[in-house]
Amino acid sequence: MLELPTPVIAYLIALLLENRSLAYLLVQKDGALSAWGGKLAAYGVGNLQKGRNIGQQIFFLEGLLPLDDVSLFLPRLKTEEGICADVHIFPSEEGDWVLLLDATVDEMQLSLIQQHANELSLSQEKISRVLNQ
């Protein structure tokens, strides 16, 4: 495993907490929510109930849990409220962890790239039409 100096780890954690609105859920293998924390409100998640099935509380997790022994990454997933999040789901002895990280900046950058690609394509079509006339 990569060994990092403590100041580097502290910086990365602070950066993550400051810029990515970290939130987490711990779900038992039977689907019951057992713990949660972080900035869940930033994703429109609230009124969680311990012991209640997670799929009934957070719609996009329905059918994804329980995990076997493989982690799952869902990039730029839109929540019910339209908030863009990177969702990391990984198994542990305690249950399955669900991490939410804000992906709004990534989504905006991808949107800009797509917009530029579309504009380039339109420009090429116009040039082709002019040259063919």
The reported pLDDT for the residue numbered 108 is 57
The reported pLDDT for the residue numbered 123 is 75
The reported pLDDT for the residue numbered 131 is 79
Spans of all domains in the chain: 6-102, 104-133
Q: What are phi and psi of 77, to 5 degrees?
A: -75, 135
| Torsion sign across C-alpha atoms 69, 70, 71, 76 | negative
The reported pLDDT for the residue numbered 83 is 85
| Long-range Cβ pairs for the range 15-20 (8 Å, 24+) | 16/101, 19/102, 20/101, 20/102
CATH of 6-102, one of 3.30.450, 3.30.379, 3.30.1330, 1.25.40: 3.30.450
CA distance 59 to 42: 16
* Binned average pLDDT, 10 residues per bin, the chain of 133 residues: 89 86 96 96 92 93 92 89 90 96 70 69 80 81
